[in-house]
Structure 1
């Protein structure tokens, strides 16, 4: 093989890696928000489902999840695998895996805000939505940035 062919193949692989990375971020960051809120819910069954989902996604290897998502439609539902099945299984596996990690980061950030912040906002007459948007969320963002940075770096390595 000549240098031009190898460079072309490397660039094609790099493009695929960047696509997986971007699609994972675009899919998992918003998906993590409802998962985090479900994990903190007062509704016990919803909280339990979120906890089980997070435990399974964080407790099993990403490669195993990819295999399960790729082969499950064929073996469970009899759906034929297409050449694009690998791509979709990869993207779905990355998104649901990283959504679990991001959900735990969000949850820990929200729960790290002292109760006094909520009480102070209540005294000032803020609604729950105003309290979250104006008081809690800015502090949460500041607190979760290091952990989110670490997770994004891990995502770069995983892709």
Structure 2
């Protein structure tokens, strides 16, 4: 009797998952594509042709603040260099696992442009923030050091 109950429950779960499309290969591929769309891998981060790991936080702050006038030096803390502007707060720690964390208000176009400019300056690749992310409002950009590669991701 217990075996029949377990069998009916398993069959019910499979039918529900199939009905909702969870067992469909197309649905799985769409989920994988969405995740891949918002991640970019970079081999090294440099600013003005110098690795950011070799720069002091003060030097990095001065360079970024002079090149991207929207971002101003806020403070140098134990967590790293904090740069702010209207609708943006960026923490940069070249030696940490999370090299850059930026909280951005998508309604502030200058904040979005400044982040794209900063990402270009660091990676020498044009990284555009996807429209899907901009439509959601506030988002976070994270640059992580994973196995000596940098991973840029956008989170809502």
Shared fold (TM-score, shorter chain, > 0.5): no
Q: Compare the two structures and name the one with the higher strand fraction.
A: 2
Q: Compare the two structures and name the one with the higher helix fraction.
A: 1
Structure with bigger gyration radius: 2
Relative to the length of structure 2, the TM-score reads 0.31
Structure with more relative contact order (C-alpha pairs < 8 Å, separation 6 or more): 1
Relative to the length of structure 1, the TM-score reads 0.31
